[in-house]
Structure 1
Amino acid sequence: MVDRVVPGPERRRRRPTKQGTVLSEQLIVETALRLVGQHGAEALTVRRLGLALGADPSSIYRYFHSTDDLLLAIAEELIGLAQHGWEATGDWRADLAEIGLRIHRCYQAHPQAALLAAHRTTGRDNEIRAVEAILGILRRAGMPDPEAVRIYHAFVDQALAFAAQDAATLAMPAPAAAADLGVWQRAYARLDPQTYPNIAATAPLLAADMPRSGYPVALELLLDAVAARLPAA
């Protein structure tokens, strides 16, 4: 897909597809998210979207200027899904933990899309609301503005980095994923304790723990660090 700008009024016109479905930005994004989930990044093309929607591929240009424009909309959709139903409780630690875990769960539910979109900045409504909410939590907890910004940056980058890492694992072909996990049970469990005493002592624990995401523990460590930096502490 190449850049192709369509005037605003034309983009807002809704026309039924060959199947009688009325096109909209939301429908296109949801269809793109489904296609990417089923077929990976290569599914994000005008031709495939047109086929899935039962529409002329060129009609998608009425809603999105380019593939990158659509990709940003997918990133924005994931941010919205992660926030859906969240409400602040007033407990800064519980609120941050819930936001972080929601981000992680959402991206794990859409691993192929997460690989494409986790690193993007949309500047759109869902993302703006998320930034406002996280900064609000930190400032209400008593963090000075410079510190609130630094912690916001670390918090979001940590959540998205783990989301992308774990999404990459989930997106792997099943044989490759099984082989990777098997390494902890085979190669590491057989290492010489004289040469590798620390690995040998913890090998069963490593084999049990490594299949799980490290994000919940990393999040707790970050929140402990935030608590220690609060003015009241």
Structure 2
Amino acid sequence: MTEGRIPVERRRRKPTKSGVLLSEDVIVDCALRLVGQHGGDALSVRRLGAALGCDPSALYRYFHSTDDLLLAASDRLIGEAMDGFHPERMAWRDGLREFGLRIHREYRAHPRVAALAAYRVTRRAHEFRAVDAGIGLLRRAGFGEEDAVRHYSAFVDTVLGHAALDAAYLALPAERREADDRAWTGEYANLSPQTHPQLGAAREHLPLMAGSSFAVALELLLTALEVAASG
């Protein structure tokens, strides 16, 4: 696929061999399904064409590259996360918490897509809305424009970083996830307190290391922002 924006009038309007009427949404639906089932290697025009029952070249009329399609899929997740979100009705801290939880939850629901795209900039409508909302919440907290942008960057990177980390974990085969989780009650719990005194002292709490630390990290960050806003 090549770079550049595809004019609307060039896009395919007749049904494919399987009777599917192609559109950007239909292609994104298919991409999300294929990546969810088979991982990033499934994001190819050949596999998409086969799944949609069309010549792969027809996809060029909607997306210029598989990367362009990946960004559209990522923006879809942002849109679904933001659906029904009304930050103007919330206190700024509550709004940021809800913002973070929504994005994290949506990416966890699509872990293989999140692992590919959580660190990307989609440059599309849903992301525009999300960034505008996040900066707006921080301005309502009392930050000036520069600090609002700086703090939003730290906030969203924390959210997306945890989303990507948790997504990568969820994308592992079940037996590997279970083995990693068992380590805290197995190998770590059996270490000698003579050689690892801090682990020995905290042994009964080590199972807390299994699973996601996102909720704790989010509250720590929100508290830090609240302190900075009142300083």
Q: Where does residue 24 of structure 1 map in the other structure?
A: 23
Return 5+ residue gaps in structure 1 as ranges: none
Q: Where does residue 221 of structure 2 map in the other structure?
A: 222
Whether the 8 Å contact between 2:139 and 2:148 is mirrored in structure 1 is yes
Q: Distance in 1 between matches of 2:19 and 2:165?
A: 40
Q: Distance in 2 between matches of 1:40 and 1:7?
A: 27
Q: Where does residue 199 of structure 1 map in the other structure?
A: 199
Identity of aligned residues (%): 55
Whether the 8 Å contact between 1:141 and 1:230 is mirrored in structure 2 is yes
Structure 1 residue 87 displacement after superposition? 1.1
- Supply the AA of the counterpart residue of 1:98: E
Whether the 8 Å contact between 2:78 and 2:127 is mirrored in structure 1 is yes
CA deviation profile, 1:87-110 (whole Å, cap 9, x unmatched)? 122300110000001111001000
CA deviation profile, 1:181-223 (whole Å, cap 9, x unmatched)? 121111110111122121112222112x122210100000000
Structure 1 residue 145 displacement after superposition? 1.5
Name segments (4+ residues, structure 1) moved above 4 Å.
Answer: 4-7
- Quick one: structure 1 residues 214 and 11, their matched pair in 2 at CA, closer, same or farther if it must change by over 3 Å? farther
Structure 1 residue 4 displacement after superposition? 6.5
Normalization by structure 1: what TM-score? 0.94
- Quick one: structure 1 residues 5 and 160, their matched pair in 2 at CA, closer, same or farther if it must change by over 3 Å? closer
Whether the 8 Å contact between 2:108 and 2:167 is mirrored in structure 1 is yes
CA deviation profile, 1:82-131 (whole Å, cap 9, x unmatched)? 11111122300110000001111001000000011111101111010001
- Quick one: structure 1 residues 201 and 30, their matched pair in 2 at CA, closer, same or farther if it must change by over 3 Å? same
- Match status 1:53 vs 2:52: yes
Q: Where does residue 94 of structure 1 map in the other structure?
A: 94
Structure 1 residue 11 displacement after superposition? 3.6
- Quick one: structure 1 residues 4 and 123, their matched pair in 2 at CA, closer, same or farther if it must change by over 3 Å? closer
Q: Where does residue 135 of structure 1 map in the other structure?
A: 135
Q: Distance in 2 between matches of 1:25 and 1:7?
A: 11
Q: Where does residue 106 of structure 1 map in the other structure?
A: 106
Q: Where does residue 184 of structure 2 map in the other structure?
A: 184
Return 5+ residue gaps in structure 2 as ranges: none
**Count of aligned pairs:** 230
Structure 1 residue 52 displacement after superposition? 1.2
Whether the 8 Å contact between 1:32 and 1:49 is mirrored in structure 2 is yes
Secondary structure of the corresponding residue to residue 123 of structure 1: coil
Moved more, 158-167 or 141-150: 141-150
Structure 1 residue 8 displacement after superposition? 1.0
Structure 1 residue 6 displacement after superposition? 7.7
Whether the 8 Å contact between 1:16 and 1:22 is mirrored in structure 2 is yes
Structure 1 residue 13 displacement after superposition? 3.8
- Supply the AA of the counterpart residue of 1:191: L
Normalization by structure 2: what TM-score? 0.95
Q: Where does residue 116 of structure 1 map in the other structure?
A: 116
Q: CA RMSD in A?
A: 1.5
Q: Distance in 2 between matches of 1:174 and 1:9?
A: 43
- Quick one: structure 1 residues 185 and 3, their matched pair in 2 at CA, closer, same or farther if it must change by over 3 Å? same
- Supply the AA of the counterpart residue of 1:204: E
- Supply the AA of the counterpart residue of 1:190: N
